[in-house]
Amino acid sequence: MATKKIPVHKLKVGMFVEELDRHWLDSPFWFHKKKIKDQKDVDEFIKSGIKTIIINTDKGIDIEEESILDQQEKDHLSEKTKIPQLTYEESVFTDPVPFTEELPRAKEIKNNVSNVVKNIFNDVRMGKAIELNDVKTQVNGIVECVFRNRDALLCLANLKDYDNYTFVHSVNICILSVSFARHLNLPKTHLEHIGLGALLHDLGKTQIPESILNKPGKYTPEEYNIMKGHVGLGVEILRKHDNIPAEAMMVVLQHHERYNGCGYPQKLYGDKIDLIGQIAGISDVYDAITYDRVYHKALSCHSAVKRLYEWNDTLFNRLLIEKFIQCIGIYPVGSFVELNTGHRGLVISVNHQILLRPKVLVLFEGDKRLDSPFSIDPAIEDDEKCNFKYSIERELDPEDYEVNINQYLDRFKTT
């Protein structure tokens, strides 16, 4: 392999970048191997503060001449430009496809994606390459589903599969991150890239010893440090593949960073954490705390939302936590609740304008289980004084009432 070290301003379209002058953790680029396709690629390297680059002249064009940098060039190379944060805008969405129509399709999508993720983890453990086209196809299916109806997949993300936690968790983070990104009105291409990163965010765990990964007790400090290494291992795995979007790598790298700087691996804080990293981090924690783990008992979806809110401006950005709650609801789809009238049932859709008044599928009148469930919309004013007849009093544990949420999914009604 023929290589040359050149100053970044000598970089030209057609050259092949083999290596940068710093480790990937210290740069915004997740591929140190890349063919320069246009001047924009060159400008990004310069703006990021990269000073020297190693090019591969077997895979790209050679430099025309070697020269010593003059002082003006050195001054230019020392300039650093702050990389702008991705921003978002407020937006109000409508769902073009009814929940009941989209739900069967959402089920099929989630099952397909879960199988693909399981195969990916197994392949990586055996040293095989990832079939990225298959993964991207599945992620695009999730994005399209979220655009058709925002609640169908979110409902399925709240169903727990303890036997396949690692795989299902990855799928859930993909669903939550894509849904949240859509709520923030990010471009559709960003949703696809965020979804790809979310689906692969824990890929580094395939390189963690099984004795640590599946340890039934609490980690020792040494074991926890090994476990934290899954972030870097995941990025290294993905860097071996071409055409991984930067946004996807950002998800993998930053999903354990926290707003107050207590996260890892870079201990970033505040807005030094990219918006995409914050989206993934919030989604990751929300799903994780709704599962029984060695170190904590599972929280209900409603309790998890309250816990996230308690962490605003410490672990997470307050504004983003508020936006996340607007996205999934104070009582997320699938929550089992009791109304002021004594009716008990499942939340089947979130009222994104009035979060405390989601639609409920009534399964019980008092303690009597109904043969024919029916829906109630607490957002409808029901008397002459425009008062609400129905309101949610509290959340219940569905297991106490022998309620299997999955068996009711096909019976959810919208009126």
3-class DSSP state of 364: strand
Prior bond to 265 cis, omega within 30?
Answer: yes
Site of tokens 């390459």: 129
Task: Write out pLDDT tens, residues 333-375.
Answer: 888 999 999 999 999 888 888 888 999 999 999 889 998 889 8
**CB neighbour list of residue 280: distance below 8 Å, 6 or more residues apart:** 173, 177, 194, 197, 198, 201, 250, 251, 254, 255
Question: Which ranges of 268-366 does DSSP label H, i.e. alpha helix?
Answer: 275-288, 301-310, 318-328
What is the edge-to-edge ordering of all strands in the sheet holding 16-20?
A: 3-7, 52-56, 16-20, 34-35
Ranges under pLDDT 50 in the chain: 25, 30, 65-85, 413-415
> What's the farthest any 2 CA atoms get from each other in the chain?
86
Q: How confident is the model at residue 73, as a pLDDT?
A: 35
Across 43-197, the runs of DSSP E, i.e. the strands, are 52-56
Q: How confident is the model at residue 312, as a pLDDT?
A: 85
3-class DSSP state of 71: helix
Neighbours of 344 (CB within 10 A): 25
Scored b (16 or more CB within 10 A) or e, 361-380 reads bbbbeeeeeeeebebbbbee
Q: How confident is the model at residue 320, as a pLDDT?
A: 94
Q: For domain 99-328, which architecture applies?
A: Orthogonal Bundle (1.10)
Q: How confident is the model at residue 204, as a pLDDT?
A: 94
Structure tokens at 295: 């170190």
Across 21-74, the runs of DSSP E, i.e. the strands, are 34-35, 52-56
Structure tokens at 72: 């003006």
In contact, 395 and 300? CB cutoff 8 Å: yes
Structure tokens at 405: 């949420």
Q: How confident is the model at residue 26, as a pLDDT?
A: 55
Structure tokens at 240: 């071996």
C-alpha closest to that of 362 among 339, 396, 387, 383: 339
Q: How confident is the model at residue 383, as a pLDDT?
A: 62
Domain boundaries, the chain: 3-78, 99-328, 336-411
- Chain-centroid distance of CA 244 in Å reads 16
Task: Write out pLDDT tens, residues 57-112.
Answer: 888 888 764 433 344 333 433 333 333 345 555 556 678 998 888 988 999 999 99
Q: How confident is the model at residue 243, as a pLDDT?
A: 82
Q: How confident is the model at residue 218, as a pLDDT?
A: 83
In angstroms, the CA 39 to CA 391 distance is 59
